[in-house]
Structure 1
């Protein structure tokens, strides 16, 4: 199962890079219009967010809310408050672990 996740991550990364490279190749050295540059810049973060959300809110074929959501909420709050990245990761992981410990 885990190898399938990593394969999906690598595949999405490769497709994202190929799509970013396709623009300059197809335009033959011309600049992309500014509207297209904004779209291309947002493709990778959007795909990453989709992968993360499917991993957090799913268990097999079912929608689930569990300790991972608590960790995500704590991490999102830390990012919103502009805490250091290492602290955000640590607090998110700790919140998920404590929730699993309490929920049993």
Structure 2
């Protein structure tokens, strides 16, 4: 891919994002007040966040991989289910990944 094509792609993607943002401000407020819309937007947010977590956890750019990140995510999920403070969740997940990597897994 040439540098010109790459920059053209970046500029077009940026303009598309700007157009979506502007379109969001032009949506009538009464459409957004509908409870179904509020519920749908919260579900879309959760789905996008979940997809990002899964992609970053088991993706390596070319395929799927299972390494220390997956058990660390499981530990974080259990800690969140037990209502642990967020800082503790992060520390537990990081310690799990570090411990498994120190043992040679991932």
| Same-fold status (TM-score > 0.5) | yes
Q: Deviations over 1:20-45 (max 9, x none)?
A: x72x6322x32532111111122223
Task: Report the Cα distance in structure 2 between the residues aligned to 1:18 and 1:40, rounded to whole angstroms.
Answer: 15
Q: Report the TM-score when normalising by structure 1.
A: 0.71
What's 1:63 paired with?
Answer: 64
What's 2:38 paired with?
Answer: 37
Unmatched runs of 5 consecutive residues or more in structure 2: 1-13
What's 2:83 paired with?
Answer: 82
Task: Report the Cα distance in structure 2 between the residues aligned to 1:88 and 1:55, rounded to whole angstroms.
Answer: 17
The structural deviation recorded for 1:48 is 1.8
Task: Work out the number of aligned pairs and report it.
Answer: 88
Unmatched runs of 5 consecutive residues or more in structure 1: 1-10
8 Å CA contact retained: 2:31, 2:37: no
Structure with max Cα Rg: 2
The structural deviation recorded for 1:57 is 0.5
Find runs of 4+ consecutive structure 1 residues off by over 3 angstroms.
none
